[in-house]
């Protein structure tokens, strides 16, 4: 009958490269990539991060060059994370509000040199600025205070917007912070500054190398399970996304990435909004470890994992392999 073998041979379309390309359902381009980068103090400084082979912290002047490199490769956006110096960290994370902090200086420098050639996404959370490593303010019992933290996050968001941020990305997971930040941005006239909410951010074991990169691993007191999500939960992720969209998020993020592609798919199918995923530091480090052990081909593994994000429904991916992948995709 029609549709049965041998009338239907699915291998026919796979027989040649041109045919495989013509039938390809998912396409990956450099425009799908966001490059997370780390900025540190000094001039002419590059600090390799041992737990993230191939990733470094850069001083502002060198970060400008990395931004230019990314723009030339067709990467549309950088995600900036500061390595705040120990003496500038405090219980209340006040450095987040400093208009001359490391993040703001990096934003202004890149904007001055590159204009609108590349987008700038900024992390909003207090962990790079606190001396206890938590994303928010602590009560006397050590519990992360929700509403009091939001007040600081609003100020941090405005500080970054004034310095040139295009996308505010709250990663703190406080309840209600998206609405408060959106209202503040509107009131200040930043009507075109986007919010990409870390809406479904899980309390994951995959974040270790990132904490090395921003020098918070040794600072963190306790864990983050009272505000980041339980890895066992799916329906809760949908509630988080629904709330953030209602409060004014333009796009949402799932973090980590590959272990949570089921969440990406559920979010995309449920809400039909732009969904991004963060291929986090632990995922990157696992690929690099496999390559170092001779167990994997870096090029093939990088492209296959990124394609998996797109196939699951992602509009884009934050990945430390962004530059490497962009170069591969231009071949």
Give the number of domains in the chain: 1
pLDDT single digits (tens) 223-278: 999 999 999 999 999 999 999 999 999 999 999 999 999 999 999 999 999 999 99
201 is catalytic: yes
- CA distance linking residue 258 with residue 284, whole number of Å: 11
Q: Which of 201, 224, 268, 310 is catalytic?
A: 201
Helix, coil or strand: residue 321 = coil
277's tokens = 């995923």
User: Is residue 235 part of an annotated ligand binding site?
Assistant: no
**Is the Cα dihedral 169, 172, 173, 179 positive or negative?**
negative
Model pTM score: 0.96
74's tokens = 């067709």
Q: What is the CA radius of gyration of the chain?
A: 20
Q: Residue 1 falls within a domain, yes or no?
A: no
To which residue do tokens 């988080």 refer?
Answer: 240
DSSP 120: E
Is-contact 75 330, C-beta < 8 A? no
Provide the residue range defining the domain that includes 122: 27-330
Dmax (CA) for the chain in angstroms is 76
Q: Residue 13 falls within a domain, yes or no?
A: no
Closest residue by Cα to residue 254 from 167, 173, 137: 173
310's tokens = 């797109």
Neighbour tally for 248: CB within 10 Å = 16
Q: Residue 15 falls within a domain, yes or no?
A: no
**Is the Cα dihedral 230, 36, 48, 28 positive or negative?**
positive
Q: Residue 3 falls within a domain, yes or no?
A: no
255 is catalytic: yes
**Is the Cα dihedral 210, 214, 215, 217 positive or negative?**
negative
Helix, coil or strand: residue 275 = strand
- Ranges of residues in the chain with a pLDDT under 70 are 1-2
- CA distance linking residue 158 with residue 181, whole number of Å: 8
Q: Any idea what the Cα angle at residue 330 is, between residues 25 and 109, rounded to 5°? A: 115
Q: Residue 18 falls within a domain, yes or no?
A: no
Q: Residue 14 falls within a domain, yes or no?
A: no
Q: Residue 19 falls within a domain, yes or no?
A: no
Structural element, H or E, at residue 218: none
Q: Which of 224, 255, 268, 310 is catalytic?
A: 255
* Torsion angle of the four alpha carbons 106, 110, 116, 120, in this order, in degrees rounded to the nearest 10: -30
- CA distance linking residue 331 with residue 318, whole number of Å: 21
pLDDT of 221 reads: 80
Tell the burial category of 237 from Cβ atoms under 10 Å away from its Cβ (0-12, 13-18, 19+): buried
Q: Residue 169 falls within a domain, yes or no?
A: yes
- CATH number for 223: 3.20.20.70
Is-contact 96 88, C-beta < 8 A? no
- CA distance linking residue 302 with residue 96, whole number of Å: 34
DSSP 308: H
Tell the burial category of 232 from Cβ atoms under 10 Å away from its Cβ (0-12, 13-18, 19+): exposed
pLDDT of 331 reads: 81
Residue-by-residue DSSP string for 40-105: ESSSS-EEE-TTSTT-EEEEHHHHHHHHHHHHHTT--EEEEEE---GGG-BTT-GGGG-TTSHHHH
pLDDT single digits (tens) 23-34: 999 999 999 999
Rounded to 5, what percent of the chain is helix, strand, coil? 45, 20, 40
């Amino acid at each position: 009958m029609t549709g049965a073998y041998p009338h239907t041979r699915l291998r026919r379309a796979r027989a040649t490269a041109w045919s495989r390309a013509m039938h390809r359902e998912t396409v990956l381009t450099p425009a799908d990539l966001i490059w997370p980068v780390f900025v540190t103090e000094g001039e002419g400084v590059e600090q390799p991060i041992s737990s993230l082979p191939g990733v470094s912290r850069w001083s502002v002047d060198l970060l400008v060059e990395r931004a230019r490199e990314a723009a030339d490769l067709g990467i549309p956006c950088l995600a900036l994370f500061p390595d705040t110096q120990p003496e500038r960290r405090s219980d209340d994370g006040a450095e987040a509000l400093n208009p001359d902090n490391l993040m703001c200086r990096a934003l202004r420098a890149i904007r001055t040199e590159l204009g609108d050639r590349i987008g700038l996404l900024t992390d909003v959370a207090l962990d790079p600025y606190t001396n206890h490593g938590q994303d928010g303010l602590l009560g006397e019992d050590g519990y992360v205070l929700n509403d009091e933290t939001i007040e600081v996050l609003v100020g941090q968001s405005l500080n970054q917007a004034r310095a040139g941020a295009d996308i505010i990305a709250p990663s703190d997971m406080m309840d209600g912070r998206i609405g408060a930040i959106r209202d503040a941005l509107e009131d200040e006239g930043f009507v075109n500054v986007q919010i990409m909410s870390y809406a479904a951010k899980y309390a994951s074991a995959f974040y270790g190398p990132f904490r090395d990169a921003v020098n918070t691993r040794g600072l963190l007191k306790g864990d983050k399970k009272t505000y980041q999500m339980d890895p066992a939960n799916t329906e809760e992720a949908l509630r988080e996304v629904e709330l953030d969209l209602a409060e004014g998020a333009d796009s949402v993020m799932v973090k980590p990435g590959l272990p949570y592609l089921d969440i990406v798919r559920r979010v995309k199918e449920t809400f039909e909004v732009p969904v991004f995923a963060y291929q986090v530091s632990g995922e990157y480090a696992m690929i690099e470890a496999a390559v170092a052990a001779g167990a994997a081909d870096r090029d093939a593994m990088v492209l296959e994992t990124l394609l998996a994000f797109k196939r699951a429904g992602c509009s884009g991916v934050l990945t430390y392999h962004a530059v490497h992948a962009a170069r591969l995709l231009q071949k």
